[in-house]
């Protein structure tokens, strides 16, 4: 089982919790942690379920509900906003047919907002999984999305 394989790599210490969640959620295609998995992780680290649940609910990387295969996060902060000639979010919403915080029906994409990505020198910016895309234009956004669709 996938989670067991991930757990085995880590010492059974509470301070490994975030690293475990990060790795497991990345390899799991629906990018979320279920309650059963929370219990398994809690048992492995010998901590209460509620502590795992608490961490899961605090950090924006984590989700307790299934998400799409690819998670698109659009920066909504001031530096990107003032140098955007396009409304990045609206373009993506139109391309994919979903609103922010929704997942496409084929489970391929989830669209979210994110806080500043640290690419203010190259905005507007967005993140898809662990890749960051900068200097976005309408054409560039569409091209990037097409590439992800091709690899599906």
Partner 1 sequence: MKMVNATINHINITVEENTSILKAAKKFGLNIPTLCFYEDLNIKSDCRVCVVEVEGRKGLVASCSTPIKEGMVIYTNSPRVINARKTIVELILANHDTNCATCVKNMRCELQNLAKTLGIDQNRFPSVLQKCDIDDHNPCLVRNPNLCIKCGRCVDVCSIIQGTSVLSILGRGHETRVSAVFDEPLSENFCTFCGQCASVCPVGAITEKDDTDVVWKALTDHNKHVIVQVAPAVRVSLGEEVGLKAGTIVTGKIVSAMKLLGFDRVFDTDFTADLTIIEEGNELIDRITNNGVLPMMTSCCPGWINYAETRYPDILDHISSCKSPQQMFGALAKSYYPKQAGIDPSDVFVVSVMPCTAKKYEAKRDEMKVNKEYPDIDAVLTTRELGKMIKQMGIDFENLEETDFDSPFGITTGAAAIFGATGGVMEAAIRTVYEVVNQKPLEKMDFKELRGLNGIKEADINLGGSTVKVAVAHTLSMAKILCDQVRAGTSPYTFIEIMTCPGGCIGGGGQPYGTTNQIRQNRIDSTYVVDANMKFRKSHENPEVVALYENFLKEPLGDLSHHLLHTHYHDRHHEEQKNAYDEGNH
Partner 2 sequence: MIEMKLISKRFGKINPLSIDEYIHFNGYKNLKKALMMEKTEIIEEIQKAALRGRGGAGFPTAAKMMGLAKEVSKEKYIICNADEGEPGNFKDRYLMENDPHQILEGMIIVAYATGGTKGIIYVRGEYQKSISLLKWSIDEAKKKGFLGQKICNSPFNFDIEVRSGAGSYVCGEEFALIESIEGHPGRTRVKPPFPTEKGLFGKPTLINNVETFSTIPTIIEIGGNRFAQIGTLTSTGTKLISLSGNVKNKGVYEIPFGVPIRKVIFELGGGIVNDRKIKMVQLGGACGPIIPEYMLDMIIDFERFEEFESKTGAGAIIVIDDRFDIFTILLKIVRFFQHESCGKCTPCREGHIQLGNIIEKFIERKATMQDIVSLESLARVIHQASLCGLGQTSTTSIISSLKYFRDDYIDRVEHSERGQTI
Residue 17 binds partner 1, judged by CB under 8 A: no
- Cβ–Cβ under 8 Å, residues 84 and 92: no
CA 56, 60, 64, 69 dihedral sign is negative
Residue 52 binds partner 1, judged by CB under 8 A: yes
Residue 53 binds partner 1, judged by CB under 8 A: yes
Instruction: Return the number of the residue (12 or 35) whose C-beta is nearest partner 2.
Output: 12
Q: Which stretch binds partner 1 (CB under 8 A): 49-57, 83-91, 111-119, 139-147?
A: 49-57
Which listed option, partner 2, partner 1, none, makes contact with residue 53 (CB within 5 to 8 Å by class)?
partner 1
Instruction: Return the number of the residue (97 or 118) whose C-beta is nearest partner 2.
Output: 118
Residue 78 binds partner 2, judged by CB under 8 A: yes
What whole-number distance in Å separates Cα of residue 44 and Cα of residue 87? 45
Residue 18 binds partner 2, judged by CB under 8 A: yes
Residues forming contacts to partner 1 in the complex (CB under 8 A) are: 35, 38, 48-54, 57-58, 64
């Amino acid at each position: 089982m996938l989670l067991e394989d991930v757990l085995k790599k880590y010492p059974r210490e509470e301070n490994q919790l975030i690293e475990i969640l990060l790795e497991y959620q990345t390899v799991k295609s629906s990018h979320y942690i279920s309650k059963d998995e929370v219990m398994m992780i809690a048992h492995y680290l010998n901590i209460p379920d509620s502590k795992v649940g608490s961490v899961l609910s605090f950090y924006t990387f984590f989700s307790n509900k299934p998400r799409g295969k690819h998670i698109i996060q659009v920066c909504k902060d001031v530096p990107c906003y003032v140098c955007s000639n396009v409304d990045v979010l609206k373009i993506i919403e139109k391309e994919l047919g979903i609103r922010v915080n929704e997942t496409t029906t084929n489970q391929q994409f989830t669209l979210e907002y994110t806080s500043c990505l640290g690419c203010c020198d190259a905005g507007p910016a967005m993140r898809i999984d662990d890749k960051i895309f900068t200097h976005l234009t309408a054409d560039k956004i569409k091209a990037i999305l097409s590439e992800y669709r091709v690899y599906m």
